[in-house]
Amino acid sequence: MGKRERETPCGICGHYHKFGEGEVCGICGHRIVLSSEKSLLRVSAFASEILPDFLYFGSFDNASRTQLLKAQGISRVLNTVPGCQTLCNNSIVYHCLQEGKSLPFDDANQFLEQCERDKARVLVHCMSGKSRSPAIVIGFLMKSRRWRLTQGYQWVKDRKPSVDFTEAVHQQLQEYELQIFGQTNGALTFPHLTAQSLSFGFDKCENSQAPLPAFGGFGADSSIFSRASLNIPPHGFVFGAAQTESSSGSDIAMDSS
């Protein structure tokens, strides 16, 4: 390693490696990537920031990268999957939610509220970072910020497009919204799913293209799904919005994440 690399640590991970040449760090595995790879890096290595300098969420892979957690200033971790091993590190405070059929929103909110009072940055994680951890984060936003389910979902989905709830998790979020506000604000739509890939006996819903409510600085017609159109057939698959009698016997188990 040349003199310059020895004197100049990596600005991301803080270790000494030839980051300018794309060399992988021998301590934490970080490397500078091409612009075409940056989206992959955010998904696989860095936790997604939900509330600035406070709330993050991601996968077990995010939680296992201690050096990158430190680089983001994260000092506390909320594990939403009881069967997922909690990594031991004296510099990080861990809290694991108890196992049960329902997501323990109240337990999670108590821990997150304490983190906020202590002005500590916290990571909420599950195995894949797609279902349980974003659901817990949205539950916290509904309870502490009084955001409705569709608003919290839009906020989180914009920051991590790979979020993908199971029907069971979506149902629990609706029930929690009902518990907090006394009513639900409508079902979430999942336009990335096609009738060919998922057919549980649901009829076509006429209002499946209804826009999500405006939130913050977003325009009235703005939606988290107003991106470049994918070359897939249209459909109207909506969780919890218009189930037929043929789907009443279907049970979709909540995935392990």
For the annotated catalytic residues, the residue numbers are: 126
Q: How far apart are CA 116 and CA 110, in angstroms?
A: 10
Q: Taking the CB of residue 11, how many other CB atoms lie within 10 A of it?
A: 9
Phi, psi values for residue 78, rounded to 5°: -110, 115
Task: Show the tokens assigned to 138.
Answer: 């949205």
Do 212 and 223 form a contact (C-beta atoms < 8 A)? Answer: yes
